[in-house]
Amino acid sequence: MTVPADLRYTESHEWVRAEADGSVLVGITDFAQDALGDLVYIELPEPGKTYAAGQVIAVVESVKAASDIYAPVAGTVLAVNESLKDAPEGLNQDAFAAWLFRLKPANAADAAGLLDAAGYQKQIESEK
């Protein structure tokens, strides 16, 4: 199971990558896509909408189940990965390349408070 060291993670299995412009890209982890199985549908948030940290922001559906995706930090949606609407299986192929949405955090420091790779690795080991 891949856990890139340059990302931050949530306990609900989202990854967060800080971008140079102060925004963050958000996706689901390799662990999450593996647990869900073959993804068949993704409901992405509306650009321009603001979310609180921990609020449901998107939904992914697989042949097994539907799963809520939570905002890792408070912020406004700047963009969504439109290519995943027609090809949700892209998340199964490479969970860390297939981002779901880009957020402008309300507080830039919030992402630093998420789990680092070692902390996330411990969490997923405890869930196995």
Instruction: State yes or no: pLDDT of 81 exceeds 80.
Output: yes
Task: List domains and CATH numbers for the chain.
Answer: 8-107 (2.40.50.100)
Instruction: State yes or no: pLDDT of 48 exceeds 80.
Output: yes
- In DSSP terms, 70 is beta-bridged to 56
pLDDT digits (tens, 9 = 90+) for 6-31: 999 999 999 999 999 999 999 999 99
pLDDT at 64: 86
Please list, residue by residue across 24-50, b when 16 or more beta carbons sit within 10 angstroms of its beta carbon and e when fewer do.
bbbbbbbbbbebbeebeebebbeeeee
Q: Is 54 left (phi over 0), alpha (psi -120 to 50) or beta?
A: left
**Rounded-to-integer distance, Cα 73 and Cα 110, Å:** 6
**Rounded-to-integer distance, Cα 81 and Cα 11, Å:** 23
| DSSP label of 37 | -
Instruction: State yes or no: pLDDT of 84 exceeds 80.
Output: yes
pTM (2 decimals)? 0.95
